């Protein structure tokens, strides 16, 4: 009897051991043929469509590079682990990627808290993480050697928002409203807007927050309306943006509306329906190009989709984002030379100055700069074309 | 049908007819298992040690939920909240107030137990599933409270917790084997404690409330008191597990406090076997390693296009249903049935089939 | 000495009157039987004594000083009132021995354990508790089933186990709700003898609800006949059976003629 | 502002009421809280979406398609996973519903991906009534909910099946003895809850869009059910509307942190003050 019990326990231990066995690839994740790149993305959970989209975009670009001969003869392989928007799992995934799969570097990440939790680990293991998907300044402030940020942060966007109201739209002391999710992105936005408003000498912004589980924005919108807000900025995910627009329409609330990069898809316009063109119209801060327009980057992306991922009939901005960050990483890897190490990748990325991805604003890193870019451009929802049209070029915060 | 005769006045007969089937409380197989647990880090690489440490914290959490769900029959969906509370209170005690880490661990546990009183007393007054609803609501409220108490918890930005604990004579880094020994000692203490609890008067009160609350009440058991006590003990261990998890990860953020985490622990109980301490342990082990096994299998059998993460979620859901419908006693229950089959091998009284839900094994 | 004094107990469920102002008293050491047709309020009365139900009016006094209706059920159990149920209320998924040990609950003092420091002493204390339970099992003659699951056992045994759980508390007042329900004649006789020996060996007062007139007649010292929530008569069994009112209730109007 | 808030609150409350009605139906019959109610809702709105996009039905047709699918889905789930558990304690059955929720969620994600989808049959600009503007979605939500509740009360009061269901809720053993097919009735109850879930899902879809996680709105309706004493059908309706209105009003006048946890705070308030809820009826376990 005891034998069976012992046997079962031994069997369990063997099974555990099997799961511990690591790959045979070298510690650094690079050999003659392959470069392993990993990422912890939210492939399930409340914002899963972002992680799924980014993963698809990255794989698209990697497939393209591999088909064109790879980087210095090495093929790229992307390993995505799911964290379901939970920090604990992000760290577990990091451990798995670095200690078991032995990746060379990390590409893409969930939200902004995840990479923050990884910071000490990245520092310890000296592993660079390129392109965290989050718009917060906490990514590179305080300076962190191993986090290569891509986006203009929400803080920058809020500053550009105030600048744009002042310089382009020539508003005088308007009431500025912010409607954000109560997370790091929301806090970053508030910080940026308050700083910039103080600088130009306008009154403090009206702030409304909600939680991710929210299903109803009516009271926030009504409160903003009651405060006579002239210009409203809502850096939130696309479905929430659409809901907010609908609420504004319902409440007959007509401020200048500013959404963020998540609200630049055609799908978003479809979701919002009429409400996107209601009142003074909707503008969006785009951190990347629109993949439907006729710039060279968009054409390249469309060609890649047609060739390497033809099943993707309706590419979205997250695909494009993944494509873009993969492109930046590949540029870095290319520049780092045939004898690839992590230090060389980091110094190659640091040398990047105004690199034109065709997707983001020109990318610039330096020994003390990990932001990449702080520019956004403004798109306007056009009623006749039923699409966004470009309103400005790349804008910097002042 | 009765096949026995009642003996009247047999009180004066000595206990000579006490049956041979005296339970064997001395379980010698425990010793090789414990020895194995302590020897394991010698053979493991860094990732495996990390995984085993996470597993240890998970085991404590699963045992905590087992005390509440398995022993007392009260469903809680707020386990993640207590884990979060544990991590935050450990972090605040150790990092902000600079209290000795061992004390901080205890304070974290007691904070959880104290908070559980606040929820338990109103929601356990009623029979039924009110605790499940209340704890679910409590998860959302905790999430919001963490954001609201920005000054203490650092709000949405997440709270950094030191991954090193200094217990006087030695410093333990949560990635090291040293921490492994520390945390597995805690696991063994927790398992032994809950085993003893189950054998004691209090544990019997818990199980009797689970099986028939009316009978428990007329037997002199204060139902509310014991339910609340059970919830407090469970929350103590849950918070302890949360504090340990915080140490291992090095960070806690409000995003970690969500219902899915709580449900994960429930899955462990269902798969391992509810109402049995070893069942909770087995469930924790299986659920921690299952993703690894799934990905291993899929690497060899499935094409790359299948999205593993959703598949894994689906498999978890199906596992719950499979176990509840076909083997409600979990892996441990099935194991005892198989054991019983072999014990009485040629003389099986009846077919080994579905037996009672929540069946306590010795 | 009156161990239980009931005065003017009234209870109704949404207008359905279950107990209509009943009042009687039970002497210490007697076996007091409650009989009546279905729905005459016998079980309801038991549930009021345990305070599982809250009657609208009336008073139940225990040992002359405790007002049971101001106590909670578990406090009542601790004061020495144990009971069995008409439809079994056992802990089905635990073993027989543990079922009995739950009955010991009010008598066990955890502080006793805390005073012991060596493991051996703890174990011996624990053994002592178990021996208490074994004594009960021995008395009932069901020791050999001690490690079986309750669900695996036949109905008659389950009834005995429930009785054992009630006895384990060493009650002063034992409430038995239809102890011979579902038993044949010879089994009923066994039960009758068992109840008598419980009274003699444990020295407790027994309050009994029963349908079986023969059983009640043979063991009860006094009887109370209930009909639709009202007391018909109280008295010695041999007087009761001759009472025409009782005969009418139990045998119908025709027999009167 | 307060009138706008009230109307928003009533519309929100109607959705809560419909979801809570699904909870209460199943609770009344089987004493189980069905944690998969929100997921059934999500799945049915996906079916409606598929009806209008993949099969190109018009909206009315796909609405009924989804309601029938909801009925069948509920009945099927009961048959597959809940019927084998008849006679079990409540806890495993509740855990089984959690398992069902996970399966439905991941199946929806596998079929339709995580991308939020649009299902907006009531599009159009808001109507102006006096000085109040009300969006078509809200108007239809309120109208459909009240029609549904009216039909329900008729059903339970006058139809034979409704009376049987009430009998089962009242006394299981008694209704078994009088020849009511309890298992079939359980199946029917689950189907009914599924159909209500479908209606709720389609009504909420234009507001929060369809995505595999929209089932979480189901959880937010639980306080409504508690508020109206779990197990009472008028209680669920009143509880839902009270919850919706008070949540919106709280959002307007209380500090901004409160609004999204308001249902839960209200739940604790109810548990503290009157744990039985508003529509409590005396119920005693027979021993």
Q: Where are the domains of chain D?
A: 2-273
Residues 3-62, chain B, touching D (beta carbon < 8 A)? none
Please check the confidence at residue B206 and state whether its pLDDT lies above 90: yes
Report yes or no: C202 at the B interface, CB cutoff 8 Å.
no
Q: What is the pLDDT of residue A386?
A: 85
**C154-190, pLDDT tens digit by residue?**
888 888 899 999 999 889 999 998 888 777 888 888 8
Which chain D positions have a beta carbon within 8 Å of C53's beta carbon? 284
Between chains, do D102 and B325 touch, taking CB under 8 Å as contact?
Answer: no
Q: Two tokens at C155?
A: 């109905």
Report yes or no: C147 at the B interface, CB cutoff 8 Å.
yes
Q: What is the pLDDT of residue A324?
A: 92
Average the pLDDT over each of A144-148, A182-186, C68-72 and give the range with the smallest value: A182-186
The mean pLDDT value of chain B amounts to 83
Q: What is the pLDDT of residue B304?
A: 60
Q: What is the pLDDT of residue B29?
A: 79
Distance from CA of B156 to the nearest CA of A (A): 5
Q: What is the pLDDT of residue B297?
A: 80
DSSP state of A355: E
**B263-279, pLDDT tens digit by residue?**
999 999 999 988 889 89
Averaged pLDDT, B142-153: 90
Q: Hey, which bits of chain C come out as E strands? A: 2-13, 16-27, 31-36, 57-62, 66-67, 81-83, 173-177, 205-210, 222-227, 230-235
| pLDDT band with cut points at 50, 70 and 90 for residue A43 | confident
Chains C and A touch (3+ CB pairs under 8 A): no
Report yes or no: C131 at the B interface, CB cutoff 8 Å.
yes
Please check the confidence at residue A299 and state whether its pLDDT lies above 80: yes
Please check the confidence at residue C118 and state whether its pLDDT lies above 80: no
Please check the confidence at residue A262 and state whether its pLDDT lies above 90: no
Between chains, do B255 and A113 touch, taking CB under 8 Å as contact?
Answer: yes
The mean pLDDT value of chain D amounts to 88
Q: What is the pLDDT of residue B127?
A: 80
Q: Hey, which bits of chain A come out as E strands? A: 34-41, 75-82, 105-109, 129-130, 147-148, 176-181, 206-210, 231-234, 256-259, 282-286, 353-355, 363-366, 369-372, 377-382, 387-390
Q: What is the pLDDT of residue D284?
A: 53
Report yes or no: B204 at the C interface, CB cutoff 8 Å.
yes
Residues 270-299, chain B, touching A (beta carbon < 8 A)? 285, 289, 292-293, 296
The mean pLDDT value of chain C amounts to 85
Distance from CA of C151 to the nearest CA of D (A): 13
Q: Residue A199: which H helix or E strand, with range? A: helix A184-200
DSSP string covering A356-381, please?
Answer: --SSBSPEEEETTEEEE---BEEEEE
What is the C-alpha to C-alpha distance for residues B68 and B66, in angstroms, rounded to an integer? 5
Write the CATH number for B123: 1.10.3470
Cα Dmax for chain D: 60
Between chains, do B10 and C93 touch, taking CB under 8 Å as contact?
Answer: no
Phi, psi at C195, each rounded to 5°: -65, -40
Between chains, do A219 and D204 touch, taking CB under 8 Å as contact?
Answer: no
Averaged pLDDT, B75-96: 94
Half-sphere exposure of C15 (CA within 13 A, CB side): 0
* Higher local confidence (pLDDT), A37 or D3: A37
Between chains, do B292 and A183 touch, taking CB under 8 Å as contact?
Answer: no
**D204-234, pLDDT tens digit by residue?**
998 888 999 888 888 889 999 988 888 788 8
Q: Which of C226, C208, C228, C204 is nearest to C216 (CA)?
A: C208
What is the C-alpha to C-alpha distance for residues B227 and B235, in angstroms, rounded to an integer? 12
With beta carbons less than 8 A apart as the criterion, state whether D122 and D206 touch.
Answer: yes
- Is residue B358 in a domain? no
List all residues 6 or more positions away from C16 whose beta carbon is below 8 Å from its beta carbon: none
Report yes or no: B177 at the D interface, CB cutoff 8 Å.
no
Neighbours of chain B (3+ CB pairs under 8 A): A, C, D
Q: Where are the domains of chain C?
A: 1-80+171-257, 91-170
Between chains, do B214 and C89 touch, taking CB under 8 Å as contact?
Answer: yes
Between chains, do A111 and B342 touch, taking CB under 8 Å as contact?
Answer: no
Chains B and C touch (3+ CB pairs under 8 A): yes
Q: What is the pLDDT of residue A5?
A: 57
Q: Based on the structure, what is the number of domains in chain B?
A: 1
Please check the confidence at residue B11 and state whether its pLDDT lies above 50: no
For residue A265, CA distances in Å to A49, A238, C28 come to: 13, 9, 86
- Is residue B344 in a domain? no
The β-bridge relationship of strands C205-210 and C31-36 is parallel
Chain D residue with minimum CA distance to B357: D88
Averaged pLDDT, D128-139: 82
What is the C-alpha to C-alpha distance for residues D279 and A383, in angstroms, rounded to an integer? 51
Which chain A positions have a beta carbon within 8 Å of D249's beta carbon? 219
Instruction: Name the residue among C13, C14, C85 with its Cβ closest to that of D287.
Output: C85
Between chains, do B223 and C74 touch, taking CB under 8 Å as contact?
Answer: yes
Report yes or no: B346 at the D interface, CB cutoff 8 Å.
no
What is the C-alpha to C-alpha distance for residues D286 and C52, in angstroms, rounded to an integer? 10
Neighbours of chain D (3+ CB pairs under 8 A): A, B, C
Please check the confidence at residue D191 and state whether its pLDDT lies above 90: yes
Q: Give per-residue burial for D149-166: e unless 16+ CB within 10 Å, then b.
A: beebeeebeeeeebebbe
| pLDDT band with cut points at 50, 70 and 90 for residue C87 | confident
Q: Which of D203, D207, D265 to probe by mutation at the A interface, max A CB count within 10 Å?
A: D207
| pLDDT band with cut points at 50, 70 and 90 for residue B348 | low
Q: What is the pLDDT of residue B13?
A: 32
Which chain D positions have a beta carbon within 8 Å of B325's beta carbon? 81, 84-85, 96
Q: What is the pLDDT of residue A142?
A: 82
- The architecture that CATH gives domain A154-286+378-390 is 3-Layer(aba) Sandwich (3.40)
Please check the confidence at residue B20 and state whether its pLDDT lies above 70: no
* Higher local confidence (pLDDT), A391 or D39: D39
Q: Which of B207, B214, B215, B216 to probe by mutation at the C interface, max C CB count within 10 Å?
A: B215
Q: What is the pLDDT of residue B306?
A: 63
Between chains, do B357 and D98 touch, taking CB under 8 Å as contact?
Answer: no
Q: Which of A107, D108, A309, A39 is nearest to B310 (CA)?
A: D108
Q: What is the pLDDT of residue A172?
A: 87
Domain enclosing residue B291, as ranges: 28-328
Distance from CA of B163 to the nearest CA of D (A): 32
- Is residue B21 in a domain? no
**A199-255, pLDDT tens digit by residue?**
999 999 999 988 877 888 888 999 999 999 999 999 988 888 998 998 888 888 899
Q: Counting one residue from A and one from B, how many pairs have CB atoms under 8 Å apart?
A: 111
% of chain B beyond a pLDDT of 70: 85
Burial class (CB in 10 A: 0-12, 13-18, 19+), B264: buried
Q: Which of A192, A130, A191 is nearest to A330 (CA)?
A: A130
What is the C-alpha to C-alpha distance for residues D157 and D180, in angstroms, rounded to an integer? 17
Which chain C positions have a beta carbon within 8 Å of B208's beta carbon? 91, 94, 102
With beta carbons less than 8 A apart as the criterion, state whether A231 and D108 touch.
Answer: no
Which chain D positions have a beta carbon within 8 Å of A223's beta carbon? 251-252, 256
Averaged pLDDT, A251-277: 87
Instruction: Name the residue among A211, A219, A243 with its Cβ closest to that of D5.
Output: A219
What is the C-alpha to C-alpha distance for residues B316 and A262, in angstroms, rounded to an integer? 31
What is the C-alpha to C-alpha distance for residues A114 and D168, in angstroms, rounded to an integer? 51
Which chain B positions have a beta carbon within 8 Å of A120's beta carbon? 163, 250
Distance from CA of D45 to the nearest CA of B (A): 20
Neighbours of chain C (3+ CB pairs under 8 A): B, D
Which chain C positions have a beta carbon within 8 Å of B1's beta carbon? 154, 156
Instruction: Name the residue among D96, D226, D230 with its Cβ closest to that of B320.
Output: D96
Averaged pLDDT, B279-288: 93
Task: Cite the DSSP H helix spans in chain D.
Answer: 2-30, 37-53, 59-77, 90-112, 136-158, 160-170, 172-177, 182-208, 216-220, 222-227, 233-253, 262-273
Q: Counting one residue from C and one from D, how many pairs have CB atoms under 8 Å apart?
A: 12
Q: What is the pLDDT of residue D176?
A: 85
Averaged pLDDT, D149-175: 87
**C153-162, pLDDT tens digit by residue?**
888 888 889 9
Instruction: Name the residue among B21, B204, B221 with its Cβ closest to that of C98.
Output: B204
Please check the confidence at residue C254 and state whether its pLDDT lies above 80: no
Q: Which of C149, C208, C165, C212 is nearest to C184 (CA)?
A: C212
Report yes or no: C13 at the D interface, CB cutoff 8 Å.
yes
What is the C-alpha to C-alpha distance for residues C157 and C190, in angstroms, rounded to an integer? 13
| pLDDT band with cut points at 50, 70 and 90 for residue A28 | confident
Q: Counting one residue from B and one from C, how many pairs have CB atoms under 8 Å apart?
A: 137
Between chains, do D287 and B128 touch, taking CB under 8 Å as contact?
Answer: no
The mean pLDDT value of chain A amounts to 86
Average the pLDDT over each of A233-247, B238-252, C210-224, D117-131 and give the range with the smallest value: D117-131
Q: What is the pLDDT of residue A7?
A: 62
Between chains, do B214 and D105 touch, taking CB under 8 Å as contact?
Answer: no
User: A363 forms bridges with which residues in the sheet?
Assistant: A355
Average the pLDDT over each of A151-165, B348-362, C5-19, D240-254 and give the range with the smallest value: B348-362
Phi, psi at D210, each rounded to 5°: -100, 125
**CATH of the domain spanning D2-273:** 1.10.3470
List all residues 6 or more positions away from A110 whose beta carbon is below 8 Å from its beta carbon: A40, A41, A42, A47, A51, A83, A85, A90, A133
Chain B residue with minimum CA distance to D263: B137
Q: Give per-residue burial for C176-208: e unless 16+ CB within 10 Å, then b.
A: bbbbbbebeeeebebbbebbeebbeebebbbbb
Please check the confidence at residue B356 and state whether its pLDDT lies above 50: no
Q: Two tokens at D126?
A: 């808001």
What is the C-alpha to C-alpha distance for residues C29 and D28, in angstroms, rounded to an integer? 46
- Positions of CATH 3.40.50.2300 in chain A: 34-152+293-367, 154-286+378-390
Phi, psi at A208, each rounded to 5°: -125, 135
Please check the confidence at residue B351 and state whether its pLDDT lies above 50: no
With beta carbons less than 8 A apart as the criterion, state whether A155 and A189 touch.
Answer: yes
Peptide bond into B182 cis (omega under 30): no
Please check the confidence at residue A291 and state whether its pLDDT lies above 60: yes
With beta carbons less than 8 A apart as the criterion, state whether B156 and A114 touch.
Answer: no
Which chain B positions have a beta carbon within 8 Å of D103's beta carbon? 314, 317-318, 321
CA angle C205, C211, C215 (to 5 degrees): 60
Burial class (CB in 10 A: 0-12, 13-18, 19+), A180: buried
What is the C-alpha to C-alpha distance for residues A288 and A317, in angstroms, rounded to an integer? 8
Q: Two tokens at A216?
A: 């109803």
Please check the confidence at residue B18 and state whether its pLDDT lies above 60: no
Between chains, do A16 and B260 touch, taking CB under 8 Å as contact?
Answer: no
Between chains, do C92 and B202 touch, taking CB under 8 Å as contact?
Answer: no
Chain C residue with minimum CA distance to B19: C144
Please check the confidence at residue D260 and state whether its pLDDT lies above 80: yes
For residue D64, CA distances in Å to A18, D71, D107 come to: 52, 10, 22
Distance from CA of A210 to the nearest CA of D (A): 7
**A336-345, pLDDT tens digit by residue?**
988 888 999 9
Chain B residue with minimum CA distance to C164: B219
With beta carbons less than 8 A apart as the criterion, state whether A74 and A143 touch.
Answer: no
With beta carbons less than 8 A apart as the criterion, state whether A256 and D42 touch.
Answer: no
Please check the confidence at residue D110 and state whether its pLDDT lies above 80: yes
Please state the CATH superfamily assignment of the domain spanning residues A34-152+293-367 in this structure.
Response regulator (3.40.50.2300)
Please check the confidence at residue A348 and state whether its pLDDT lies above 60: yes
Chains D and C touch (3+ CB pairs under 8 A): yes
Please check the confidence at residue D285 and state whether its pLDDT lies above 90: no
Does the structural domain C1-80+171-257 have CATH classification 3.40.47.10? no
DSSP state of B250: S
Q: What is the pLDDT of residue D133?
A: 79
Question: What 3-state DSSP class applies to C17?
Answer: strand
Q: What is the pLDDT of residue D137?
A: 87
Q: What is the pLDDT of residue C178?
A: 86
């Amino acid at each position: 009897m005891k034998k069976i019990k012992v046997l079962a326990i031994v069997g369990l231990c063997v099974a555990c051991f099997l799961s511990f066995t690591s790959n045979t690839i070298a510690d650094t994740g690079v050999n003659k043929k392959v470069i392993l790149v990993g990422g912890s993305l939210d492939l399930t959970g409340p914002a899963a469509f972002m992680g799924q989209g980014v993963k698809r975009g990255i794989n698209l670009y990697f497939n393209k590079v591999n088909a064109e001969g790879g980087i210095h003869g090495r093929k790229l392989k992307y390993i995505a682990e799911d964290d379901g928007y939970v920090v604990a799992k992000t760290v577990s995934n990091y451990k798995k990627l670095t200690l078991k799969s032995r990746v060379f570097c990390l590409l893409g990440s969930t939200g902004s808290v995840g990479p923050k939790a990884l910071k000490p680990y990245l520092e310890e293991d000296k592993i660079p993480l390129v392109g965290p998907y989050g718009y917060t300044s906490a990514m590179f402030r305080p300076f962190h050697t191993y986090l290569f940020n891509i986006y203009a942060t929400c803080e920058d966007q809020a500053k550009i928002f105030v600048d744009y109201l002042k310089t382009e739209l020539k508003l005088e002391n308007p009431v500025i409203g912010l409607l954000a999710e109560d997370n790091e992105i929301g806090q970053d936005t508030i910080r940026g807007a308050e700083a910039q408003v103080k600088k130009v000498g306008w009154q403090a912004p009206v702030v409304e927050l909600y939680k991710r589980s929210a299903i109803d924005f009516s009271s926030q919108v009504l409160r903003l309306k009651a405060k006579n807000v002239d210009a409203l900025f809502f850096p939130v995910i696309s479905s929430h943006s659409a809901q907010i627009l609908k609420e504004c329409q319902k409440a007959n609330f007509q401020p200048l509306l500013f959404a963020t990069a998540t609200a630049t898809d055609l799908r978003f316009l479809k979701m919002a329906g009429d409400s996107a063109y209601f009142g003074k119209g909707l503008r969006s801060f785009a951190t990347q190009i629109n993949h439907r327009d006729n710039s060279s980057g968009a054409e390249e992306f469309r060609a890649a989709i047609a060739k390497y991922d033809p099943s993707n009939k309706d590419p979205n901005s997250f695909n494009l984002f993944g494509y873009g960050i993969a492109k930046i990483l590949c540029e870095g890897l290319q520049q780092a030379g045939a004898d690839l190490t992590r230090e060389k990748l980091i110094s190659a990325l640091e040398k990047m100055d105004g690199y034109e991805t065709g997707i983001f604003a020109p990318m610039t890193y330096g020994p003390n700069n990990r932001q990449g870019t702080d520019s956004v451009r403004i798109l306007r929802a056009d009623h006749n074309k039923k699409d966004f049209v470009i309103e400005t070029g790349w804008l910097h915060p002042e | 049908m009765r096949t026995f005769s009642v003996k009247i006045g047999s009180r004066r007969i000595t206990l000579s007819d006490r049956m041979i089937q005296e339970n064997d409380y001395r379980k010698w197989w425990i010793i090789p298992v414990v020895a194995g647990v302590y020897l394991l880090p010698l053979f493991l690489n860094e990732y495996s040690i990390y995984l085993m440490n996470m597993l240890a914290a998970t085991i404590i959490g699963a045992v905590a939920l087992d005390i509440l769900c398995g022993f007392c029959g009260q469903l809680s969906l707020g386990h993640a909240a207590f884990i979060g509370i544990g991590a935050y209170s450990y972090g605040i005690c150790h990092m902000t107030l600079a209290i000795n880490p061992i004390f901080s661990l205890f304070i974290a546990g007691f904070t959880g137990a104290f908070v559980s009183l606040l929820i338990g007393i109103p929601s356990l007054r009623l029979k039924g599933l009110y605790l499940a609803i209340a704890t679910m609501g409590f998860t959302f409220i905790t999430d919001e409270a963490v954001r609201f108490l920005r000054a203490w918890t650092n709000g949405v930005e997440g709270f950094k917790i030191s991954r090193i604990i200094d217990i006087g004579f030695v410093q333990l880094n949560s990635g090291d084997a040293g921490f492994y020994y520390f945390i597995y000692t805690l696991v063994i203490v927790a398992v032994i404690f809950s085993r003893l609890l189950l054998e004691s008067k209090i544990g019997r009160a818990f199980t009797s409330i689970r099986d028939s609350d009316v009978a428990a009440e007329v037997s002199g058991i204060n139902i509310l008191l014991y339910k609340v006590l059970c919830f407090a003990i469970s929350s103590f261990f849950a918070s302890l597990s949360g504090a340990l998890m915080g140490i291992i990860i090095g960070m806690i953020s409000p995003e970690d406090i969500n219902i899915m985490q709580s449900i994960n622990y429930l899955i462990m109980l269902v798969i391992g076997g509810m109402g049995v301490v070893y069942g909770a342990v087995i469930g924790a082990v299986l659920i921690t390693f299952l993703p690894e096994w799934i990905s291993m299998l899929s690497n060899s059998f499935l094409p790359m296009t299948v999205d593993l993460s959703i598949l894994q979620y689906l498999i978890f859901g199906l596992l719950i249903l499979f176990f509840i419908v076909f083997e409600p006693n979990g892996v441990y229950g099935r194991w005892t049935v198989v054991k019983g089959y072999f014990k009485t091998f040629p003389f099986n009284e009846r077919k080994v089939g579905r037996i009672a839900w929540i069946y306590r094994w010795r | 000495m009156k161990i239980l004094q009931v005065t003017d107990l009234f209870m109704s469920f949404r207008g359905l009157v279950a107990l209509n102002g009943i009042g009687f008293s039970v002497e210490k050491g007697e076996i007091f039987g409650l009989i009546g047709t279905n729905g005459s309020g016998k079980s309801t009365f038991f549930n009021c004594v345990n305070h599982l139900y809250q009657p609208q009016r009336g008073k139940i006094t225990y040992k002359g000083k405790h007002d049971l209706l101001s106590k909670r059920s578990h406090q009542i159990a601790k004061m020495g009132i144990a009971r069995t149920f008409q439809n079994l209320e056992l802990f089905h998924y635990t073993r027989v021995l543990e079922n009995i040990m739950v009955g010991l609950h009010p008598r066990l003092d955890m502080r006793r354990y805390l005073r012991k420091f060596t493991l051996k002493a703890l174990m011996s204390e624990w053994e002592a508790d178990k021996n208490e339970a074994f004594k009960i099992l021995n008395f009932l003659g069901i020791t050999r089933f001690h490690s079986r699951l309750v669900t695996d056992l036949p109905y008659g045994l389950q009834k005995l186990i429930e009785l054992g759980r009630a006895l384990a508390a060493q009650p002063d007042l034992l409430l038995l709700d239809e102890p011979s329900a579902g038993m044949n004649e010879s089994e009923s006789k066994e039960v009758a003898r068992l109840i008598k020996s419980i009274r003699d060996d444990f020295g407790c007062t027994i309050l009994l609800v029963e349908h079986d007139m023969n059983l009640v007649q043979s063991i009860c010292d006094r009887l109370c006949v209930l009909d639709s929530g009202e007391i018909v008569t109280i008295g010695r069994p041999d007087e009761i059976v001759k009472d025409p009112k009782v005969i009418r209730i139990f045998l119908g109007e025709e027999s009167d003629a | 502002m307060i009138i706008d808030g009230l109307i928003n609150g009533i519309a929100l409350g109607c959705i809560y009421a419909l979801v809570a009605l699904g909870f209460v139906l199943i609770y009344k019959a089987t004493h189980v809280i069905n944690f998969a109610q929100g997921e059934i809702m999500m799945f049915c709105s996906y079916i409606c979406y598929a009806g209008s996009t993949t099969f190109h039905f018009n909206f009315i047709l796909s609405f009924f398609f989804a309601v029938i699918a909801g009925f069948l889905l509920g009945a099927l789930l009961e048959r597959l996973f809940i019927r084998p558990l008849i006679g079990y304690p409540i806890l495993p059955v509740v855990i089984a519903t959690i398992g069902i929720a996970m399966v439905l969620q991941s199946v929806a994600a596998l079929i339709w991906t995580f991308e939020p989808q649009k299902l907006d049959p009531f599009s159009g600009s808001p109507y102006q009534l006096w000085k109040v503007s009300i969006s078509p979605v809200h108007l239809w939500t309120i109208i459909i909910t009240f029609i549904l509740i009216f039909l329900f009360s008729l059903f339970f009061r006058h139809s034979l099946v409704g009376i049987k269901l009430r009998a089962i809720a009242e006394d299981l053993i008694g209704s078994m003895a009088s020849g009511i097919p309890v298992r079939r009735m359980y199946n029917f109850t689950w189907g009914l809850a599924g159909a209500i879930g479908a209606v709720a899902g389609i009504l909420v879809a234009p507001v929060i869009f369809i995505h595999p996680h929209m089932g979480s709105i189901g959880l937010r309706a639980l306080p409504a059910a508690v508020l109206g004493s779990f197990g009472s059908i008028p209680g669920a309706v009143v509880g839902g509307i009270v919850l919706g209105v008070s949540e919106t009003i709280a959002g307007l006048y209380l500090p901004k942190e409160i609004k999204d946890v308001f249902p839960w705070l209200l739940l604790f308030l109810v548990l503290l003050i009157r744990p039985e809820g508003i529509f409590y009826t005396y119920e005693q376990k027979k021993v």
